[in-house]
Each structure stands twice: as structure tokens, then as C-alpha cells.
Amino acid sequence: MSDTTHSGPVLAADGTPLKRSLARALRMQKLRALMLIAPLLLFILLTFILPVADMLYRSVDNRIVENTLPRTVEALEEWDASLNQLPDEAVYAALAADLKEAAEAKVHTRVGKRLNYENPGISSVFRKSGRKVRKWDMDADAPFKEKLIDIDEGWADIELWRTIKTYSAPRTAGYFLNAVDLKLGADGVEVRPENERIYNTLLIRTMRMSLIITFSCILLGYPVAWLLANLPTSKANLLLILVLLPFWTSLLVRTSAWKILLQQQGVINDTLVWIGLVDDANRLVLINNELGTIIAMTHILLPFMILPMYSVMQTINPSYLRAAKSLGATNWTAFWRVYFPQSVPGIGAGSILVFILAVGYYITPALVGGTKGTFISNLIAYHISTSGNWGLGAALGAILLAVVLILYWVYDKIVGIDNVKLG
Amino acid sequence: MADASNVDAFVEFERVQKSYDGENLVVKDLNLTMPKGEFLTMLGPSGSGKTTCLMMLAGFETATHGDIRLGGTSINNIPPHKRGIGMVFQNYALFPHMTIAENLSFPLEVRKIGKSEREAKVKRALDMVEMGAFGGRRPSQLSGGQQQRVALARALVFEPELVLMDEPLGALDKQLREKMQFEITHLAHQLGITTVYVTHDQTEALTMSDRVAVFDDGRIQQIAPPDQLYESPENSFVAQFIGENNTLEGTVKEINNGIALVQLDDGELIDCKPVNVSKPGERTRVSIRPERVEYNRERLQEGVHTLKAEVLEFIYMGDIFRTRLRVAGNDEFIIKTRNAPDQVRLQPGQQIEIGWLPEDCRALDA
């Protein structure tokens, strides 16, 4: 009102700047909104965000070597790994002191296990030595080089020393390199030997199969979504219930059902043999491979594709198709040039949802995937719960997260996230 | 009028019926003939079958029975995209993912017209509706009136001989609607296009059309030019539906020299023009337009029957006065008088006498 009369900031009636006045007026509202979400926010922070952050930090955390072997790490700084000479007595003495301390605290096996990830075999060297060094007297038993090598030949291996030196930093890229089939050698990053490469294959397989699953969901879901959007309400509701029905059944039950259906002595094979399409001796292998995973996961993820597509298609007025036809377009042209482009946001939303769910899927590939159809998440689960290599598990998880975020970003660049409608 | 063998006929409906559920007929025995270049409006209340007729003509609904012909050939089995009929939809149906120019280009592309010719036609069509500067915009960036113009241009750009419009002005405000009414009729006549226009707005129908077909209950109740429709409705439905109308009920006493003497239910006698009545004793509904009622004794003809009336309400509407009377037991009898300098302003409670020319008072079906 008065902004034409003076050039400064607009003032409220009492003379305070309008912006501050407005902020004060809205503060209560904001506070109330915050209070309303506070319990959930706290819950998520404690049970989700902090643990995830902690896990992610484990993917680079390497303090264990420095903490357990502080003297050795310090002594090794002088040693030149490229000279092909074993370290001198000072290093062995430092190691003996560290090992004794560690063995007394019973943590020497942990550091052995850590280094074993990078150089298989180290674990046993540490375990064996720890037991004996524990009884040593640091003053009387010197020098230690010969004695240590006596306990385990491993201490005479330059590679072992290189490993310790390479992984003495408090933070390491080792887990991440491991997760993409590389390793940190003495001369920098190198490719792992062929028989140790598994993660790249698995990561690529996960991506490839998730894409296949996403595409089969689009192919199967699009017509259903179209039908849902174009049927009269009563029939559409019935169909919608059929689409949602799987949600009311446990995931495990559905996956187990696929096991029964797909196995070689299963329903599908039996039926095909009975019809005569398949010879009894050559029953189809439909499970414990990629095909099994794709079939079961497409089925399980299909509703996540259909629902966003349906909600977008519902908003497309049927008069667009009529208009296109009245303008001379055949049914196909009308669909392809007019209806389909308008339904793309639904396909996009469904695809993002299905792909992200598929990439991280665990139970179904574990049950029907066999060895050929497992996903990267199965390996993450293995490292977290079986092998105990949390660092590697965390690194694999971080890579998965990064890939999903990158794809999301790419999608945003190409399709535009604003075009995604979930309802 | 509805002669199927008419050589001038461009659009013909012959005994067309339509049912959606197999139990009720939405369109009952429709016969209609339109010459080329005519602007015909289908007017009627919702559910009267007018939109169904339009959809059958466009090809989006199939006739359950009967024949629809365009330029002499039956189009019952021709799919919509081969009919070459331009159509303007109620919600415009401009494709939201295409620019205005792309929207207009679409019908030309599907007709495999070359790029340069396409561009020329699109430009001409946009200029025609004064939207030449908006080719690069998206429909969502235009106002309702602008979208309406574009929809019109798109329906005309491929030069169809027949254009259908389904309540195209329904979403616009009053002023814009009146402007567009004029523009559409102007364009249609200028280009010589045959137009079928569907609306439930009788003013729109009267101002725009060459002929109006009044629909009710799946039938055409009357098809006539606007003035005839207004002045000589053929039945009570048309009289009621078109314009404001006063009705009085009574019985025919006698019919002499084209004038029917009707005794109203309260015993009074009036002179009418017999339209749907043929013999004495028949029940009738008498219809008089509010502006044809006269209460100035000096202007009434000698010897006409007059009725006593009591003024109930006087409403000043600017250009006209609208007065509500009680006449022969009817409390809703309206008269309209022009706001002229010598016009008397009636007061509520005033007792007056009203009359009219016998030909303005039509005795219709009861």
C-alpha cells in the first residue's frame, strides 16, 4: 500500500519491517508443524538415519589397524615397501610389543581378520603369533625378528608387510575398491586376480535384471492400467482389488508359491508336459536362475507399476482421444501421439519405483534365484550377517545407494522429476 | 423439411434410434436434413439426446437403428477418423503436451501433408482466429477464450465441410461468450462451413443459428429458424423452453375464422390462435410472451377479451420493467415493458386490465 511512498523495506503498521513481522506471525505455525512431526522425526533419526550413517561410515573406517598396532604403524613409516627388503628389527620389536598388548586384550584376531580381507592368509598368522607373543617378555626376549619368523613364515613375506603398511591409515578406500573388484596394492590401485572378481559381475547383473524386471512390468502393467482407467467405475474397482490382492499376501508366501509353480517337478512344467509342449526328459529350468528371479519379481513388483500409471491415466480426459480421431488420426496414431505422451509421467513414476525396489530386493532373489539369479543385496546380507565383513557390506550398500541416486538424477535430467505423478 | 430424398441434403438423419442399455431409447426416431452451409443448433435440456446425436454424427457412438448420411453416402460404418468432420469439444481437448502450432499441425500431419504447406495452413488458421502470435505456446499458457479460439482453428485447419461443436462456450464467462458467439457465426458463414452446434443455452441458439432443433425426450420437438421458434412455438414444450413464457390453462369453447375462444379454468374467456387444438371441448395450455402483453387500454384493440390482473411485484431491470401479476389464479404471470419515457410504472396492489393480440396468444397442447 505504502510501498510507493518510500524506497526502504516495506513496513508493517507498527513500523517493524514487514518481513520480520510476517516471520514472527508464521513462527507459531511453523513451530506447531514441527511439534506435530517431531515424534516421527526423532524415531526416524534414531532408528534409521543414524544407523545408516554409521553403516556408511564403516565403508571407509580403518582405525582398527592404527589402534591395535600403533607402534608398528609408526615404525613402518620409515620402511620403503618398494625395496623388496624385509623391515628391520625395530619394526619387528614394535610389532611384538603391539601384538602382546593386543593378545592380552584379545583383539589381535580382529586386526588379523581385517587385514585378511585384503591379503588372505594374514588372519592365521596373527592368530598363531598372538598366542605365543603373549607369553614373551619385551625386555628379555629381544631381538624379535627371527623369533617371529620362527612362529610363522608369514612374517618373512614382504607382501604381508606391504599390506600392513598400505592399510595403516585410519580411513581407507579399500572396501570400496574391493567392492568393484579392485584392490590397493603397494603401488596403488590394481585389478584383483580373476578368480576373486565377483562384485562387478553381480552389480551389473543386478542393474541388468532390474531393468528387465522394470520393462516387463511396463509391458504387463500398461494395458492393465489403461483398462483400469477406462472401465466403468464398478468394474474398475473390482479389477483394482485384483491388482491390490497380492499386497494382502505375505511376500514370502508369494515367493514360495512361485517356487512350487516354477520348479522342474512343479505345476507349470507338469502342465506343459501333460499338454505335450515339453518333453518329460527336458523339463524347463524355470527356477534357481535369472529367469526365476525375473518372473517372481515382475509379479511382486507389478502393482507398484500399475498404480502410478493408473493414477496418471485417470487424469487423461478421454476427449483427447476423440479429438485426435476427429482430426483424422487412426486409433494407433491417436494412442501413440496423443495418449501415450500424456501417460509417460505415470510410466516414469512406476519405473523409478519398481527399479529402485528391484535393485535393493533381497528375499525373492535369495529364494528363487539360485546362484545365477542373486542380487548384490544378497551379497550385502551375506557380508553383514555371515562373513562379518561389515566394511565391505557397507561399501557395497553405498555403491548401490550412489547408483540409485545417479539414475534418479539422470532421470530427472531426461524426463524431469516434476513430471512424475504418483497420484 | 425432413425429406430424405432432398437433393440439397448434406447431412441427413433418417429414422435414427439410439439405446445404450437395450432398454431405453435415448434417441427416438430422429429425422433431420441439413443443407450445405447451414448453421444448425441442437438445443435441449440435458439428457434430451442432443449430444448423443452429435456423437453419432462424429462417429463416436453408433446408431442402434437408422441411417446417417453425409453428402449422400451412409457413414454408419465409417470410423470417425475417416469422416473428415471437424469437431470442437466442450473442454477444448487441446493436446497439453503439444504447442499450439503442433496442435494445429496434427490433423495435417496425419493427412500426410508436406511441411511447408502445413506451416502455411497452420499460420493461416491461427491468423483467422487472431492467435497468430501464440503458435509456440502450450495450451496451459492460454486463457479459456484463447484456448477456445485455438480449438476452433484446429477444427477448421484441415478444411472440413462439416464442423461439430459440443457446447464450446460453456466454460467461458458471459462477456467472452457473447463475443465468441458472434465470431463463430461470422467465421462459419464466411467460410461457408456446415455447422452443427450443441448447446443448452437458448440465447446462444437463437443468436447464432440459421435453424434450431429443439430436442426433448429423444425427439426433435420443433426445427425452425430462431424467429419462428420464438414467435410460433408448435407445442408447449418449445414455448416453455424457448424464452420466457406465460401459460394459462383452459378449455376450447369454439374455433371460428382461425381464432379459438378459450375458457380459462376460472371462467374467463380469451381469444387465441389455435395451434395444437382442433375442436371445441379440448383441454389446452395457452401461451403468451411477456413482452406481448398490453395493459395500456388505449393500445388495446376494440372488442378483444381482457383479463383482470393484480400487480404483485415490480422489478426495475434497467432497460426493461418486469412486473409479476396474478392473472386467472396464476401468480407467476410476467409482463415485460420497455423502459420508455412515457411508460407507466405499476405499483404492487394495483388492479389492472390486460390484453393481447389473438395471434400472440397460442393455444397449444395441454
Q: Are residues B232 and B116 in the same domain?
A: yes
Residues A228 and A134 in one domain: no
Q: Nearest CB to B154: which of A320, A327, A341? A: A327
Residues A342-358 have a mean pLDDT of 90
Same domain, yes or no: B98 and B165: yes
- Cell numbers for A366: 535369495
Beta strands at B39-43 and B211-216: parallel, antiparallel or unpaired:
parallel
Average pLDDT of the segment spanning A40-64: 92
Distance from CA of A321 to the nearest CA of B (A): 9
* Residues from chain B contacting residue A333 (CB–CB below 8 Å): 110
Query: A324–B85: do the CB atoms touch at under 8 Å?
Result: no
The pLDDT value given to residue A3: 45
Is there a contact between A328 and B110 if contact means CB atoms under 8 Å apart? Answer: yes
Residue that is last in its domain, among B175, B210, B236? B236
Q: What is the mean pLDDT of chain A?
A: 87
Task: Flag if B111 and A328 touch (Cβ within 8 Å).
Answer: yes
In a domain, B201, yes or no: yes
Answer whether residue B4 is part of any domain: no
Give the residue ranges of DSSP H helices in A152-278.
Answer: 158-166, 174-179, 199-230, 233-244, 251-262, 267-275
**Is A190 a residue whose pLDDT tops 50?**
yes
Q: Are residues B210 and B282 in the same domain?
A: no
Which residues in B lie closer than 8 A to residue A338 (C-beta atoms)? 95
Does A270 lie in the same domain as A238? Answer: yes
A85 and A107: one domain? yes
Please report whether residue B150 resides in a domain.
Answer: yes
Cβ–Cβ gap A317/B93 under 8 Å: yes
- Domain termination site, one of B216, B236, B256: B236
- From A148, A165, A196, give the residue that closes a domain: A196
Q: Do B37 and B186 lie in a common domain?
A: yes
pLDDT of A248 strictly over 60? yes
Q: Are residues A168 and A78 in the same domain?
A: yes
Query: What average pLDDT does the segment B258-266 reach?
Result: 87
Same domain, B34 and B103: yes
Shared domain for A325 and A373, answered yes or no, is: yes
Q: State CA B310 to chain mean position distance.
A: 34
Q: At B344, which CATH number? A: 2.40.50.140
Residues B107 and B248 in one domain: no
A157 to A70, A129, A164, A176, B15: CA distances (angstroms): 21, 14, 11, 26, 103
- Assigned domain for B43 exists: yes
Which residue, among B51, B78, B89, would best test binding to A if mutated, counting the most A CBs under 10 Å from its CB?
B89
For residues A214 and A416, the model is more confident at A214
Q: What is the pLDDT of residues A258-297, one digit of tens each?
A: 999 998 888 999 999 999 888 888 888 888 889 999 999 9
Interface of A with B (CB under 8 A): 317, 319-320, 322-331, 333-334, 337-338, 341-342
Q: Which domain holds residue B353?
A: 244-364
Out of B58, B91, B111, the one facing A326 most closely (by C-beta) is: B58
Q: If pLDDT is split at 50, 70 and 90, which confidence band does A419 have?
A: low
Query: What is the tally of structural domains in chain B?
Result: 2
In this structure, the answer to whether residues A232 and A174 fall within a common structural domain is: no
Query: Does residue B51 sit in the same domain as residue B181?
Result: yes
Say whether A329 and B110 touch across the interface (CB within 8 A): yes
Same domain, B111 and B155: yes
Listed residues A58, A78, A99: the one ending a domain: A58
Chains A & B: contacts with CB separation below 8 Å: 67
**Chain A: residue whose CA lies nearest to B87:** A326
Co-location of B39 and B178 in the same domain: yes
Neighbours of B219 (CB within 10 A): 17
Beta bridge partners of B323: B314, B335
Domain that holds residue A274: 199-419
Domain count, chain A: 3
Distance CA B300, CA B141 (A): 59
**DSSP per residue over A87-126, as a string?**
--HHHHHHHHHHHHHHHHTT-HHHHHHHHHHHSTTHHHHH
Please tell me whether residues A228 and A189 are part of one structural domain.
no
pLDDT in tens, A107-141: 888 888 888 888 888 888 888 888 888 888 877 77
Region B268-291 average pLDDT: 88
Query: Which of B197, B216, B236 is the endpoint of a domain?
Result: B236
Residue A317 and residue B91: Cβ atoms within 8 Å?
yes
ipTM of the predicted assembly exceeds 0.85: no
Q: What is the C-alpha separation between B38 and B189, in angstroms, rounded?
A: 8
**Partner A contacted by B154 (CB < 8 A):** yes
DSSP state letters, A203-232: HHHHHHHHHHHHHHHHHHHHHHHHHHHHS-
Question: Are B207 and B294 in the same domain?
Answer: no
* Distance to chain B for A346, nearest Cα, Å: 14
The C-alpha atoms of residue B272 and residue B183 are separated, in whole angstroms, by: 40
Which chain A residue has its CA at the smallest distance from B162's CA? A326
Which pLDDT does position B113 carry in this prediction? 92
Same domain? A27 vs A78? no
Would you say residue B146 lies in a domain?
yes
Question: Domain check: are A69 and A53 in the same one?
Answer: no
